[in-house]
Amino acid sequence: MISFRSSVAGLFAIACSFAPFAQEGPSPEPAPLPEATPSSLPTSPTSAPTAEDLPLEDIRVFVEIFHKVKKDYVEEISDKQLLEDAIKGMLAGLDPHSSYLDAEAYDELQQGTIGEFGGLGIEVGTDDGLIKVIAPIDDTPASRGGILAGDTIIRIDDSPVRGMASNDAIKKMRGKVGSKIKLTLVREGSAKPLEITLVRDLIKIKSVRSRMLEPGFGYVRISAFQGHTGEDLISELAKLKADAGMLKGLVLDLRNNPGGLLGAAVSVSDAFLDTGKIVYTEGRVNDAKLQFDAKPPDLIDGAPLIVLVNEGSASASEIVAGALQDRQRAVIMGRQTFGKGSVQTILPMNNKAAIKITTARYFTPSGRSIQAEGIKPDILIEKVRIEATENAEDSAVTEALLSRHLDNPTKGSDKSASPTPPPAAELVATDYEVYEALNMLKGMVLLHARSSASK
């Protein structure tokens, strides 16, 4: 049993289709607390197998095909290219999240976990030979340009993407800062493909942001799980507590968070738990069989917690939501999550390249696998567009407006009623799901206070 606080950093990544691919760039499998990653995971070049381990007859067939392609293909092709393509095909045939990373892609992936890279800000994966948007990253060209989770990219500039490796698609989406790129995509509900032109930018991800929604009620947004996400969360919670004096409740927003490092997910979960299981993994090798447990304290002292999720919440986000749901520490609100229940390990090779390979499945504390199913929210919030009505109270007919109404003998004595501060009212139009989460928090706090008073 391994407690995350005692483990050492590593590249045990779990984000969706990680490759520097997350975002056409960001590879959010972003980075989190180094110490949260199990030290037992292999991160050095692996030793070569012995002859007894190799299927010699199959290798002979491979060599025969290699020579025929080399000799008869219409254009000359180098040995290196043929072998690299064979390796890519071998890994691509496993599952959507395993891949070969050449030296350049491996370097970009490592930069992505730090939280700064160039590109558009899209976490992507492959789906039936096309490029699927897992989620746009906050405050990037993709999010500002209207890219949505679930969009399917069918062309990058003038190049069709069907059959294109995800790493190759990501490279095409990257480019010089300030240069333009046109994405053609298919969106559910749209009658025809959409064309969106974006301007590439330097992507710097601040994975944790916070603010007060109302006095006593805080909001924390985690956009990706990166190397310092755990520490950043601790810092943001301290600021909220300093501003509020005491937090009455917190909204943790994981919507459109494509994932990141396993260690960060463990660290974030542990911030709200005192003890007990957070997540465990199962795989064929012993190094893939791990369990992570929480340690005190709960950084918000047991205050009510709402976790917001949607179809763009994947991987590490689902670990956090699943742990807090199973442990009955939070109410999960929103829509069903992406459903990525596997773990990838980065294995460096001797040629400065690496392979990203699925090595384990992860399970929530109750033993659930969310693979291809996702986390089902406790309270469903459908996609809606809400507009606040101006002067709604002025147009309402109430008893007080009726002529000759009876006076209230206790008017002014009700100290419990208080007007809703304007910021919360504005949420109706700007972010209805956060507005609903805030209302739920208020209800939880009110019920707890009344229950305590009646004892």
pLDDT at 204: 79
Q: What is the pLDDT of residues 254-281, one digit of tens each?
A: 999 999 999 999 999 999 999 999 999 9
Please determine, for residue 165, whether its predicted confidence score (pLDDT) is greater than 50: yes
- Give CA separation, 52 vs 8, 47, 56, 61, 275, in Å: 35, 14, 9, 17, 47
Distance, C-alpha 146 to centroid of its chain: 18
Band of the pLDDT at 358, cuts 50, 70, 90?
very high
Which entry of 151, 201, 326, 431 is annotated as an active-site residue?
326
The answer to which of 11-15, 288-292, 323-327, 349-353 has the lowest mean pLDDT is: 11-15
pLDDT at 425: 64
How many alpha carbons fall within 13 Å on the CB side of residue 434? 25
340 included as an active-site residue: yes
**Residue 41: which residues within 8 A CB-CB, separation 6 or more?**
10, 11, 12, 287, 345
pLDDT at 389: 62
pLDDT at 93: 93
Please determine, for residue 28, whether its predicted confidence score (pLDDT) is greater than 60: no
Percent of the chain with pLDDT strictly greater than 70:
82
Please determine, for residue 31, whether its predicted confidence score (pLDDT) is greater than 60: no
Report the C-alpha gap between 156 and 161 in whole angstroms.
7
415 included as an active-site residue: no
Q: What is the pLDDT of residues 296-326, one digit of tens each?
A: 999 999 999 999 999 999 999 999 999 999 9
Please determine, for residue 423, whether its predicted confidence score (pLDDT) is greater than 70: no
Please determine, for residue 167, whether its predicted confidence score (pLDDT) is greater than 80: no
Mean pLDDT computed over every residue of the chain: 84
71 included as an active-site residue: no
Spell out the domain ranges in the chain: 1-48+60-99+204-391+416-455
Q: Which residue has the higher pLDDT, 415 or 85?
A: 85
Q: What is the pLDDT of residues 96-113, one digit of tens each?
A: 899 999 998 898 787 766
* DSSP-derived 3-state class of residue 127: strand
- DSSP code of residue 285: S
The answer to which of 89-103, 152-166, 178-192, 420-434 has the lowest mean pLDDT is: 420-434
Please determine, for residue 399, whether its predicted confidence score (pLDDT) is greater than 60: yes
Please determine, for residue 41, whether its predicted confidence score (pLDDT) is greater than 60: no
Band of the pLDDT at 376, cuts 50, 70, 90?
very high
Which entry of 88, 340, 356, 442 is annotated as an active-site residue?
340
Report the C-alpha gap between 92 and 213 in whole angstroms.
45
Which entry of 27, 99, 315, 317 is annotated as an active-site residue?
315
**Residue 65: which residues within 8 A CB-CB, separation 6 or more?**
none
pLDDT at 30: 32
CATH 3.40.50.300 fits 1-48+60-99+204-391+416-455, yes or no: no
Percent of the chain with pLDDT strictly greater than 90:
62
